[in-house]
Amino acid sequence: MNDKLFALKGAIIHTPDPKRFTIVDDGYLVCQNGLVQGVYEKLPGEFKDIPVRDYTGKLIIPGMADMHIHAPQYGFRGLGMDLDLDSVWNTWFETYSLPEESHYADLEYADMAYDKFVGDLLKTTTTRLCIFGTIHRPATELLMDKLAEKGFAAYVGKLNMDRNSIEGLQETTEESLSETRKWLEETVNRHPYVKPMVTPRYTPSCTDTCMEGLQKLVEEFNVPVQSHLSEGLDEIEWVKELKPEIEFYGQAYDMYGMLGGGVPTVMAHCVYPTDAEFEMMSRRKNLWVAHCPQSNLHSSGSGAPIRRYLEAGVHVGLGCDMAGANTLNLFRAIADATTASKVYWAANERKGDPFAKKTYLSLSEAFYIATKGGSSFWGKAGSFEEGSLFDAVVIDDSSLADFNQRSVRQRLERVVQQSDDRHVAAKFINGRQVL
Amino acid sequence: MNDKLFALKGAIIHTPDPKRFTIVDDGYLVCQNGLVQGVYEKLPGEFKDIPVRDYTGKLIIPGMADMHIHAPQYGFRGLGMDLDLDSVWNTWFETYSLPEESHYADLEYADMAYDKFVGDLLKTTTTRLCIFGTIHRPATELLMDKLAEKGFAAYVGKLNMDRNSIEGLQETTEESLSETRKWLEETVNRHPYVKPMVTPRYTPSCTDTCMEGLQKLVEEFNVPVQSHLSEGLDEIEWVKELKPEIEFYGQAYDMYGMLGGGVPTVMAHCVYPTDAEFEMMSRRKNLWVAHCPQSNLHSSGSGAPIRRYLEAGVHVGLGCDMAGANTLNLFRAIADATTASKVYWAANERKGDPFAKKTYLSLSEAFYIATKGGSSFWGKAGSFEEGSLFDAVVIDDSSLADFNQRSVRQRLERVVQQSDDRHVAAKFINGRQVL
């Protein structure tokens, strides 16, 4: 297929606006030079001779952005979900996360495991990602190469951990910074769509000296940043102990320019902001919250104040947070986002009133977060508006049908609730077909 | 295969006790005359010539009991999950439940839809069920026949609804009672393992006269009962209006002998018991709570006080509650039960304390509820203890492996979190292979 100019034909559904779905029941999505040229009910005359890939009867949706995912944790997916996840030094982290990440010092293990990870990722709706690797530079570079080879658009982080880790998985401050520099030099221009992202794991795992060094590297290489923020109540207590001079957790990043005040920044979780933290976040225009609903429910039984973030103008994307969650499938994360918003509402806003106003997320809002909300980290992307990066996924939902006629919106709703890798029929990233 | 005496070989895991898994890494599960004869690491001499079905490398678990499921709602599975589910007269109930149930007046529709339902159910781990049908006697009988044909053990209810339904889906009190009598007469001895269960939908849909009539039928035919209890806060308010003379919702059933004081009774949900309701429930030894974690989270963002019920000696089973939930797969319900127990803990017991004691369900407790907890409604069942009804499911988890050696317990844990119909390799109910 000519990948400069072509069209996909099918049932097109997307969310330029979080409040509603925009739907063409049977239409054409035109790609020109890797961007969306337009959506049409009938193909305009000027395009009458372009190649058309016929997906009539299937759903065509925007690709999704996974804004928080630990690639090396894919090896223990689905394990430890009933252990304590919300302790910063806890059985889950201790039993699974750190030991598994240690394996990635071995490049042969990394090769095998990242092959499986990237291969399985290909069969999902995910087109763009912000990924946590491990502290290991070579393994992280290998992961980046594999993602590039399959056509993904991704930011990937070699982690920094110069305190509070386990033996064999902890760097000296010097190592941490010198390896990060070397990694940035090697990868910043290596691939067109797979780029490095500075990744202090979280405040308890990075000394102040490390954070200062990273701040300089961020400025020198002009790369984005990602980390974890206010995920658990006892993590927040620990940060208070580690940095008694700050008023709230977010300051531990902001003081190094890493809360979206400078370079674009993704903060995962953000479940328990104080009022002051929330207020600062709402002023940081280069900040994206990576909402990880399943992981938050697993770790502490809580939802995050997502509607409040959205109303305050904070960018919100969705993360699967493998392996705090059990699947790479962001449809599940969309379903969980609506569920988690009900949990937040019931615990924080309903207060036992049987007739309390419902403030939870609608399906279109959750879908928006998964697509345009996260993809906006890459600019105009995540919907089929003219000029958007052309990320599209074709869903074959024929096996999910029942005996009633269903609208395109209902079919999408059911796909969100019920689909798996069997239903992803094709995938395009930046106009290139990757599946 | 001789179904009088045979063995299954594989990795055997079950929960005679909710506190821990009992595991034989590679052993034999012997069936004699439909009951579990024993579990052995090596087959005893007396059984050396019996047929052995070799499932080496696969997991063998007890069949699961789905204690609450609306069969006719399978047609709109996965739809309306972001609508209001917790209003008793709400958009979800109004938009989907009642109109879909109306279709079952048409026996041709029922035939087609129940074929699909029972066929899909066969591919799950479910072996026993308590099922809500519709108000329609012929369709309900058809469902019972189909379940019997596939080998399921089930109690099925023709619903009673003589008020507060929609046009075309409401009976007169007389019709409701006469059709229920006719249905009981026709089905009480029709099948050995598929039996009728009296099913007033819930208090708002049954008049006092209807309930009085049902109480007499229950006594005359000596059949069990199922209904809904304390699912939503505004439902509870409505019941208070409808029956101002009672102190709490459960009394609306108890006053007709339908809260486990007489015949065995299954009450779905039980999310918001008052202290008095809880106290009465804990004294009713013939009462089973059907815990529906996904549905409860969808409907009101809340978990139910399951640990409290267990500690008070109340029987608890698990229900998928199709279509308040999106899947027939009870593995998902087990995972959701642990999640929902965290939600309950965070909202009701943690109270913002970062170091609060964790009271949520362990994996073995949730697995116990799904197997022995619910199956105990049928007597000794739901585990591989000697003399239990022989319900067993073989799981092929080979496609879920990673590059680490995993224990049988870890493999089960991953199956709970990640498996679907592709992983169910064989199923036995009452000693008979049905899949």
The CATH number covering residue A30 comes to 2.30.40.10
Minimum Cα–Cα distance from B324: chain A residue: A417
Whether B416 sits inside 8 A of A78 (CB atoms) is yes
Across chain A, which has 435 residues, the per-10-residue mean pLDDT values are: 84 97 98 98 96 98 98 95 60 90 98 98 98 98 98 98 94 98 98 98 98 98 98 94 97 98 97 98 98 95 97 98 96 97 95 89 96 98 98 98 96 96 97 98
Answer with the one of B378, B405, B421 that is the final residue of a domain.
B378
pLDDT for A91: 79
Q: Say if residues A195 and A226 touch (Cβ distance below 8 Å).
A: no
Minimum Cα–Cα distance from B74: chain A residue: A402
- Rounded distance, CA B285 to CA B314, Å? 7
Whether A234 sits inside 8 A of B410 (CB atoms) is no
Minimum Cα–Cα distance from B301: chain A residue: A343
Whether A342 sits inside 8 A of B298 (CB atoms) is yes
With helix as H, strand as E and coil as C, how does chain B read?
Answer: CCCCEEEEEEEEEEEEECCEEEEEEEEEEEEECCEEEEEECCCCHHHCCCCEEEEEEEEEEECEEEEEEEHHHHHHCCCCCCCCCCCCCCHHHHHHHHHHHHHHHCHHHHHHHHHHHHHHHHCCCEEEEEEECCCCHHHHHHHHHHHHHHCCEEEEECEECCCCCCCCCCCCHHHHHHHHHHHHHHHCCCCCCEEECEEECCHHHCCHHHHHHHHHHHHHHCCCEEEEECCCHHHHHHHHHHCCCCCCCCHHHHCCCCCCCCCCEEEEECCCCCHHHHHHHHHCCCEEEEECHHHHHHHHCCCCCHHHHHHCCCEEEECCCECCECCCCHHHHHHHHHHHHHHHHHHHHHCCCCCCCCCCCCHHHHHHHHHHHHHHHHCCCCCCCCCCECCEEEECCHHHCCCCCCCHHHHHHHHHHHCCHHHEEEEEECCEECC
For A385, the 3-state DSSP assignment is coil
Whether A352 sits inside 8 A of B413 (CB atoms) is no
CA dihedral (A373, A206, A325, A348) positive or negative: negative
Confidence of residue B86 (pLDDT cuts 50, 70, 90): low
Residues A351 and A272 placed together within one structural domain of the fold: yes
Residues B170 and B310 placed together within one structural domain of the fold: yes
Residues A197 and A340 placed together within one structural domain of the fold: yes
Distance of CA A228 to the CA centre of its chain: 13
Check whether B2 has a pLDDT greater than 60: no
Q: How far is B230 from chain A (nearest CA, A)?
A: 12
Whether A74 sits inside 8 A of B410 (CB atoms) is no
At A177, which CATH number? 3.20.20.140
Question: Looking at the complex, does the CB of residue A83 fall below 8 Å from at least one CB of chain B?
Answer: no
Check whether B43 has a pLDDT greater than 50: yes
Answering whether pTM is above 0.90, one says yes
Mutate which of A320, A342, A409, A410 to test chain B, going by most B C-beta atoms within 10 A? A342
Question: Looking at the complex, does the CB of residue B246 fall below 8 Å from at least one CB of chain A?
Answer: no
For A426, the 3-state DSSP assignment is strand
pLDDT for A90: 58
Residues B261 and B342 placed together within one structural domain of the fold: yes
A 342-381 → B contacts, CB under 8 A? 342-347, 350, 352-355, 358, 360-363, 366
B 91-120 → A contacts, CB under 8 A? 100, 109, 112-113, 116
Chains A, B: CB contacts within 8 A come to 156
Residue B233's nearest CA partner among B290, B294, B299 is B299
Minimum Cα–Cα distance from A232: chain B residue: B354
Residues B287 and B338 placed together within one structural domain of the fold: yes
Whether B342 sits inside 8 A of A81 (CB atoms) is no
Residue A72's nearest CA partner among B403, B412, B397 is B403
pLDDT for B93: 86
pLDDT for A3: 66
Side-chain half-sphere of A117: how many Cα atoms within 13 Å? Answer: 29
- Rounded distance, CA B218 to CA B215, Å? 5
Confidence of residue B75 (pLDDT cuts 50, 70, 90): very high
Check whether B117 has a pLDDT greater than 60: yes
- Rounded distance, CA B371 to CA B63, Å? 6
Q: Which residues of A touch B352 (CB under 8 A)?
A: 233
Minimum Cα–Cα distance from A404: chain B residue: B75
Residues A220 and A101 placed together within one structural domain of the fold: yes
Q: How far is A21 from chain B (nearest CA, A)?
A: 14
A 224-243 → B contacts, CB under 8 A? 232-234, 236-237
Residues B272 and B329 placed together within one structural domain of the fold: yes
Q: How many domains does chain B have?
A: 2
Q: Which long-range contacts (CB under 8 A, 24 or more apart) does A104-110 make?
A: A104/A72, A104/A133, A104/A134, A104/A136, A104/A139, A105/A136, A105/A139, A105/A168, A107/A138, A107/A139, A107/A142, A109/B403, A110/A72, A110/A136, A110/A138, A110/A139, A110/A142, A110/A143
Residues A106 and A184 placed together within one structural domain of the fold: yes
Q: Which residues of A touch B113 (CB under 8 A)?
A: 402-403
Check whether B398 has a pLDDT greater than 60: yes
- Rounded distance, CA B412 to CA A81, Å? 12
Whether A81 sits inside 8 A of B335 (CB atoms) is yes
Question: Looking at the complex, does the CB of residue B80 fall below 8 Å from at least one CB of chain A?
Answer: yes
Confidence of residue B84 (pLDDT cuts 50, 70, 90): low
Residues A38 and A77 placed together within one structural domain of the fold: no
Answer with the one of B358, B378, B398 that is the final residue of a domain.
B378
Question: Looking at the complex, does the CB of residue A326 fall below 8 Å from at least one CB of chain B?
Answer: yes
Whether A404 sits inside 8 A of B74 (CB atoms) is no
Q: Which domain holds residue B391?
A: 5-62+382-433
Q: Which residues of A touch B417 (CB under 8 A)?
A: 77-79, 81, 326
Minimum Cα–Cα distance from A112: chain B residue: B403
In this complex, the residue of B301, B350, B354 whose CB is nearest that of residue A237 is: B354
Whether A414 sits inside 8 A of B79 (CB atoms) is yes
Q: How far is B356 from chain A (nearest CA, A)?
A: 10
Single-letter residue type at B397: D
- Rounded distance, CA B98 to CA A127, Å? 39
Question: Looking at the complex, does the CB of residue A400 fall below 8 Å from at least one CB of chain B?
Answer: yes
pLDDT digits (tens, 9 = 90+) for B216-267: 999 999 999 999 999 999 999 999 999 999 999 999 999 999 999 999 999 9
Residues A242 and A388 placed together within one structural domain of the fold: no
Q: Is the peptide bond before A323 cis (omega within 30 degrees of 0)?
A: yes
Look at the block and give the residue holding tokens 């996260």: A374
- Rounded distance, CA B21 to CA B37, Å? 19
Residues B299 and B155 placed together within one structural domain of the fold: yes
Length of chain A: 435
Residues A109 and A194 placed together within one structural domain of the fold: yes
Confidence of residue B85 (pLDDT cuts 50, 70, 90): low
B 200-219 → A contacts, CB under 8 A? none
